[in-house]
């Protein structure tokens, strides 16, 4: 017997209760809003994991190493003057963020970089880059206009002493 709210891997997915509103459009909009909010939260959690993972210089150095191709665990750990346990913790953080994957081949564990999450961060940053470029362009135009007005004002003063 299953407890209420618990689902086993074999049980059908639990669906939210049917909408109680009489207007079908409002119901659809509410459901879409809930799904969109959930999707945003999941995406932001993934983004947070990636940004947290790349926030540490050791993890960024590991990503730099792995950019050259898959590497054995001991080769990843070699350049760092830390215990293997510390490197393992860094790798777990990178793995949780989806930035690396481990593959066992015989006795060796090979670690490779997964670029997808970094592309997602780059896309997210690109939106802000466009925003700030537009704002900086406006800022530049403001000061160019101010400089022109000042130049005209100075010219008028020199013409009419």
Using CA atoms, how far apart are residues 36 and 39, in angstroms rounded to an integer?
A: 5
Task: Copy the structure tokens of residue 156.
Answer: 């008028």
Each residue's pLDDT tens digit, 27-54: 556 665 665 555 555 555 788 899 999 9
Q: What is the reported pLDDT for 100?
A: 95
Q: What angle do CA 144, 130, 122 make, to 5 degrees?
A: 145
What are the DSSP calls for 8-52, one per residue? Answer: -TTSPPPPPPPP--S-HHHHHHHHHHHHHHHHHHHHHHHHHHHHH
Name the residue ranges covered by the structural domains of the chain.
54-114, 115-161
Q: What is the reported pLDDT for 20?
A: 44
pLDDT-derived band at 111 (thresholds 50, 70, 90) equals very high
Task: Copy the structure tokens of residue 57.
Answer: 């210089």
Q: Is the pLDDT of residue 158 over 60?
A: yes
The fraction of the chain above a pLDDT of 70, given in percent, is 71
Q: Does domain 54-114 have CATH number 3.30.565.10?
A: no
């Amino acid at each position: 017997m299953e407890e209420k709210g618990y689902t086993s891997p074999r049980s059908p997915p639990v669906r939210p209760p049917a909408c109680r509103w009489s207007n079908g459009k409002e119901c659809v909009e509410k459901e879409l809003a809930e799904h969109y909010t959930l999707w945003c939260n999941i995406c932001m959690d993934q983004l947070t994991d990636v940004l947290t993972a790349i926030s540490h210089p050791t993890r960024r150095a590991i990503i730099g190493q792995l950019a050259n191709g898959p590497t054995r665990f001991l080769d990843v750990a070699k350049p760092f003057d830390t215990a293997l346990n510390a490197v393992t913790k860094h790798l777990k953080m990178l793995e949780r963020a989806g930035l690396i994957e481990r593959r066992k081949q015989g006795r060796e564990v090979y670690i490779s970089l997964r670029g997808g999450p970094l592309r997602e961060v780059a896309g997210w940053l690109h939106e802000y880059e466009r925003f700030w470029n537009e704002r900086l362009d406006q800022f530049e135009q403001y000061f160019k206009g101010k400089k022109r007005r000042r130049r005209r004002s100075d010219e008028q003063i020199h013409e009419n002493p």
